[in-house]
Amino acid sequence: MRITLDTDARTCVIEADGTAATHDIFSREAFAAVADQWVKLGWVQKYSYGFTWLGRPIIQLPDDMIRIQEAIFHIQPDIIIETGVAHGGSLIFYASIMEMIGKGQVIGIDIEIRPHNRTAIEAHPMMKRITLVEGSSTAPETVEAVRAMVGPEAKVMLILDSNHARDHVAAELEAYADLVTPGSCILSQDGVMQLVAGMPRTGDDWTDNNPITAVKAFLARHPEFELRQQKRPFDETLGTPDCSHHPVGWLWRKP
């Protein structure tokens, strides 16, 4: 695809599949095309690596953070299970929202929680709402340990943000999906890997080896879940798309 922006003529020409369409530069079509390229170029330039939440690196697009906040407030979960800890920013983000709601715990799982990250997370005021579990997210002993922390009446949300390889995401989905309560959801992060395949800072096999492939296979086996974006609780835009690293990631468990 080729996108040509002419700021003097105020046009956006989009060429794809041998055809070209000219749009006003301020149109929804132009915005969608530019937003798509912005997300892809942002991935290459590590744009999401420039943000913190309450003092900890979070490595998330601000747009995605707001959407996740909306989902947490809508669901009002008792427990959020997150695979992948890294610097702990996401754990603290979710915990701080739960603190404002007035309930809830976040369980963070990682195969290795580096000592300096653990020290910073454990010293943070939001640690009171966080439980750290060190071990492979798909190892039977880890799965059983997490299951033991989830009460029978708990409302559970699941966020997958560890190893994004297709087979690992598929294993995580099978390991934890049944803990997600009806009306709640799974967020499988970084499906954008499929969309940026072939660009700098990507793997040679990302066209197929990515979370989207795992999600689609999971949905084919689990009709109790459906794929749909989090509904915007407020939207006075002109139909603008989400700028997201999780374009095919919201899996809602049917009531």
Q: How far is CA 98 from CA 83, 92, 94, 103, 159, in A?
A: 18, 10, 6, 6, 15
How confident is the model at residue 230, as a pLDDT? Answer: 80
Type of residue found at 194:
Q
215 — pLDDT class (breaks 50, 70, 90):
very high
Percentage of residues of the chain with pLDDT beyond 70: 100
71 — pLDDT class (breaks 50, 70, 90):
very high
Please state, in angstroms and rounded to a whole number, the distance separating the CA atoms of residues 161 and 169.
9
Please state, in angstroms and rounded to a whole number, the distance separating the CA atoms of residues 174 and 167.
11
Across 74-84, average pLDDT: 98
Q: Both 34 and 57 in a single domain? A: no
Q: Is 54 left (phi over 0), alpha (psi -120 to 50) or beta?
A: left
232 — pLDDT class (breaks 50, 70, 90):
very high
Domain region containing 20 = 2-44
Alpha helices by DSSP H, 88-189:
89-101, 115-122, 140-149, 166-176
Q: What are all long-range contacts of 33-39, with beta carbons under 8 Å and residues at least 24 apart? A: 33/1, 33/3, 34/3, 34/5, 35/240, 35/241, 35/243, 36/195, 36/241, 37/3, 38/243, 39/192, 39/195, 39/243, 39/244, 39/245
66 — pLDDT class (breaks 50, 70, 90):
very high
Q: Both 39 and 60 in a single domain? A: no
Q: Both 226 and 155 in a single domain? A: yes
Q: Both 123 and 236 in a single domain? A: yes
Q: Both 121 and 12 in a single domain? A: no
**Residue-averaged pLDDT of the chain:** 97
Q: Both 65 and 148 in a single domain? A: yes
pLDDT digits (tens, 9 = 90+) for 165-183: 999 999 999 999 999 999 9
How confident is the model at residue 239, as a pLDDT? Answer: 84
Q: Both 40 and 96 in a single domain? A: no
- Strand 130-134 and strand 225-227: the pairing is unpaired
How confident is the model at residue 229, as a pLDDT? Answer: 87
Q: How far is CA 17 from CA 6, 13, 14, 21, in A?
A: 21, 13, 10, 11
Q: Both 129 and 238 in a single domain? A: yes
Q: Both 26 and 130 in a single domain? A: no
Residue 240 CA neighbour count, 13 Å, CB half: 14
Structure tokens at 255: 């009531």
How confident is the model at residue 217, as a pLDDT? Answer: 98
| pLDDT surpassing 90 at residue 231 | no
| pLDDT surpassing 90 at residue 29 | yes
Q: Both 58 and 178 in a single domain? A: yes
Q: Is the dihedral of CA 73, 78, 83, 89 positive or negative?
A: positive
Q: Both 114 and 182 in a single domain? A: yes
Q: Both 71 and 19 in a single domain? A: no
How confident is the model at residue 139, as a pLDDT? Answer: 98
How confident is the model at residue 34, as a pLDDT? Answer: 96
How confident is the model at residue 238, as a pLDDT? Answer: 84
Instruction: Give the residue from 207, 191, 174 showing the smallest Cα distance to 248.
Output: 191
How confident is the model at residue 209, as a pLDDT? Answer: 98
Q: What is the CATH number of the domain that holds 249?
A: 3.40.50.150
Identify the DSSP state of 229: P
What is the tally of structural domains in the chain? 2
| pLDDT surpassing 90 at residue 100 | yes
